[in-house]
Copies of this chain bind each other. A is one copy, B any other.
Amino acid sequence: MAAQRNSGGRRRSGKPTIADVAALAGVSVSAVSKVVNDRPGISPPTRQRVLDAAEKLRWSPSATAVALRGARTRAIGMVAGRSADVLAADPHFSVLISGIEAELAPADYGLLLHIVGEEPDAEERAYRRLAEERRVDGVILTESRIGDTRFELLRQLGLPAVLVGTPWQPDPIVSVRAGGDDLDQGAGLRAAVDHLVELGHRRIAYVSGPEDRVHTVARRRLFEAALDARGLRPTRIVISEFTADAAVRALRRLLAEPERRPTAVLFANDTMAVAGMSAARRLGFEVPRDLSVIGYDDLPVGSLVYPRLTTVSQDLVQLGRAAATAMFRLLGEAAGTAGEPGADGSGADGPGADGPPAVRPPTLVVRESTGPAAG
């Protein structure tokens, strides 16, 4: 006489429940639960009967019910404070996401995305809602900004967080980056500078992005350091934006005075570099004959244009995977601490914990936009 409530007439939209499975297998509801959660106390024959019943009914536990019971959503949140056109211009974000997903999907975790406008409070509201409504187990952040308040906010909200990149100031937040703590984040830019110097360039300029972003500043500094290591100083550093117009303006400034004119320019990312190449050509300069250009990120657009872009490549997919892995570790630790206080602690296998998430350092990819220094 078990489960006569739901097994008789399928009530709503046809989705079977655990009770249906139990009835079909001729066992109790809890037996089914134990089977699907690999808990001991069920004999092999019974287990098989339950498995068959579940298969037959195409049943799997309702994510919402599990979440309610266990306080675990099996979803990771991500908030992007960017407008549609910025997002369209720079695929950085989508690539990162597909890396994250590559890790999340096999673990049966979902990615809850929120794309909000660029207004800062919209972003904060999004995080607040994510936390208050308990829709996700944690969030992954990107693009740490100077004076970023999100880490503090998330701590206050009690929401586990992983940052892709470097925090703007020392902060206990878990973070991942290409060429992590042990590896070398400056390797790519050093190789880029070396490459240029070997080609005979001495006057090298740098076009930076909006400097409220940490990685923008960091890249510029790494560039300066790389130049310094070769005994050089930057000819010029220009702060610009991600638009084509801004790139033209930046380049015009850079190329204005013939005697101080750089023979090579590095850009903060590939989008700007592509825009820069076009701007140069528009101003009558041939790349790489009159000007060598180097980008950063190694996005596909770089090899779509002519000449193909020499750029610093970082493995964004891998970076996304590392972020997801770090998140799993964070959640796994939390669960281990709360759920099994007496666990021995050694070999703690959280979901997806298989070694530290190391991402290879940035490397230089030489293509066609760099050549011997002119004159």
Contacts and interface: CB of A to CB of B under 8 A. Distances in A.
Interface in A85-117: 85, 87-89, 91, 93-95, 97-99, 101-102, 105, 108, 110-116
Interface in A49-82: 58-65, 67-68, 71, 73, 75, 82
Interface stretch (A37-45, A184-192, A252-260, A273-281): A273-281
Nearest to A125: B105
B306 A282 contact: yes
B97 A113 contact: yes
A88 B94 contact: yes
Interface of A: 12-15, 58-65, 67-68, 71, 73, 75, 82-85, 87-89, 91, 93-95, 97-99, 101-102, 105, 108, 110-116, 126, 129, 132-135, 158, 244, 247, 271, 274-275, 277-279, 281-282, 299-301, 303-306, 308, 316-317
B88 A95 contact: yes
Nearest to A100: B115
B134 A15 contact: yes
Given A84-B99, A275-B304, 10 more contacts: A59-B132, A60-B129, A60-B133, A63-B135, A84-B98, A91-B91, A105-B114, A105-B116, A244-B300, A247-B304
Contacts of A13: 71, 158
